[in-house]
Every structure is written in C-alpha cells, then in structure tokens.
Amino acid sequence: MPYLGAAYLWVKAAHLIFVIFLMAGLFMMPRFFVYHHQCAVGSDEDRKWIDRERRLLKIILNPSLILVWVFGLMLMVEIGAWSFGWFHLKLLFVLGLSAYHGWIVSYSRKLALGLRPLTERRLRLLNEIPGVAAAVIVVAVIVKPF
C-alpha cells in the first residue's frame, strides 16, 4: 500500500538532489586531501585546508549523507524495493559509499592532527571509488539487470 501518494515524486527528486550533493563532496574531498598533503604541517596553508575540509564535511557531506539515507529509505518502503535483486546490489554499493564517507571523516581528522598516513598517489586512486560505485548504482537502478 503506497504511503507517499503525491509526495512520491518529490521524495524521489529530493533523494536524487542530495545524491548529487553527496557525490560532489565525495569527489572533492580526496582532491582536497591531495592538495593538503602538499603543504607543511602547522603552516597557514595547512590551517586553511583543515578549515576547508571541515566546512565541506559539515555543510555538504554530512547533511547530504543523512538526507540521502532518509529519502532513500522512504523510497525503499514505498516501492517494496527489498524484493528486487537490483536493489540489493544498489544497497551494497550505498553501504560502501557510506563507509567511504566514514573513511573521509577519519582521514580529515588525521590531517588536522598533522598526520599524513597515505601517499598522494594512493589518495588519487581512492578518489576513483565514488565514480565506480556511482556507475554500478546507476546501472542497477536504471537497467535493473536482475
């Protein structure tokens, strides 16, 4: 029994809008990390990158992740998505992106403490994760291969 009624398309639109915001942040932050790595620990530039990263997390990434989940769960219940195979694939990759978000939060804290545990090359490679996940999710949702 549908519960969203006429609000369904608004919820779907909101979900997609916040997915776009989330993905933008997930693409930006590892690039910020690469640039942050290039400055001296404790320098004025270091403090600026710490502030930029904090703002991106607080203003875009964290709220977007929460809203993506809220609207996504509403849509899941509305369409009974749990019974579809494509949804399980999507959910797996969404959980992976959520974990990636958690890693971003953790790594930004390490940078703020002056730690540089990963190389710039590794950060550039990690920057590819959201793109691959987005491609799989879009194919799963649009093509519905199973």
- C-alpha–C-alpha distance, residues 89 and 86, integer Å: 5
* Mean pLDDT, rounded, of the chain: 97
Interval 88-138: pLDDT, tens: 999 999 999 999 999 999 999 999 999 999 999 999 999 999 999 999 999
Do the annotations mark residue 90 as ligand-binding? yes
What pLDDT, on a 0 to 100 scale, did the predictor assign at position 79? 95
- C-alpha–C-alpha distance, residues 78 and 50, integer Å: 40
- C-alpha–C-alpha distance, residues 93 and 136, integer Å: 8
Contact 90, 140 (CB under 8 A): yes
What pLDDT, on a 0 to 100 scale, did the predictor assign at position 1? 61
For 37-63, what is the mean pLDDT?
98
For 38-44, which contacts have Cβ atoms below 8 Å and span 24 or more sequence positions?
A: 38/120, 41/114, 41/116, 42/114
**pLDDT above 70 coverage of the chain, percent:** 99
Confidence band for 7, pLDDT divided at 50, 70 and 90: very high
Do the annotations mark residue 15 as ligand-binding? yes
